[in-house]
Amino acid sequence: MASAAAAFSNSSLLSAGYSSSSLNLCPPPSLVSFNRSRLASLKSSSPSSPARLVVACSPNEDAAASKEETPIELRYQAFPTVMDINQIREILPHRFPFLLVDRVIEYTPGVSAVAIKNVTINDNFFPGHFPERPIMPGVLMVEAMAQVGGIVMLQPDVGGSRENFFFAGIDKVRFRKPVIAGDTLVMRMTLTKLQKRFGIAKMEGKAYVGGEVVCEGEFLMAMGSA
């Protein structure tokens, strides 16, 4: 009954001079067939007032069809590169196996940095954490985030140097989801307070996998002699 009513309503609107594109309709094949018959009868009965039938599907359906036609390997863009691994090595003193930042994808001088760590099964901590279920240790997620904070702090805009920069403390750390081999850890560190006189900086950090928060906390950095 509902489909019959829809067919009657649509055919009435079409005969009144409306097109289905202006109504944003995507009729079923049976309705298209019905309207074509109606169009033929209108043309034969009213040659001086030709009717026009336009069938247009929803833009959402067109976009979905286009996405299905695009191979999956071409649908996703790579992360941008603001600092590559060589530039990171010039800033951070860490080296293998403890350099846990692969690329900086966004940097605002003296304010924040966003970087990624590609978590792979070849990381040296996976054989022991754990052999049957490779999960990135939470302490290493925190360390990786602190290194991103170091990229912010060890810049001329802030005044730090790799010789006198230390990870001093963490508060309110929460681990929301496990990070496993194959994930890309995206970390944002934001400077919230800087006291150059005392050599203390406070930062807020969040780490994401696939847009979901997996770790967050508040970090305390110290700039001074050990």
DSSP bridge partners of 185 = 117
* Long-range contacts at 122-125 (CB < 8 A, ≥ 24 apart): 123/181, 124/97
What distance in Å separates the CA atoms of residue 40 and residue 43, rounded to the nearest whole number?
5
Active site residue 94: no
DSSP bridge partners of 212 = 209
Pure H helices in the chain: 2-15, 29-45, 59-69, 85-91, 138-153
Q: Output the CA–CA distances (angstroms, integers) from residue 68 to 74, 88, 120, 157, in the order listed.
A: 11, 38, 29, 46
For 37, phi then psi, to 5°, come to -65, -40
Which of 36, 129, 133, 162 is flagged as catalytic? 129
For 31, phi then psi, to 5°, come to -70, -35
**Active-site amino acid positions:** 129
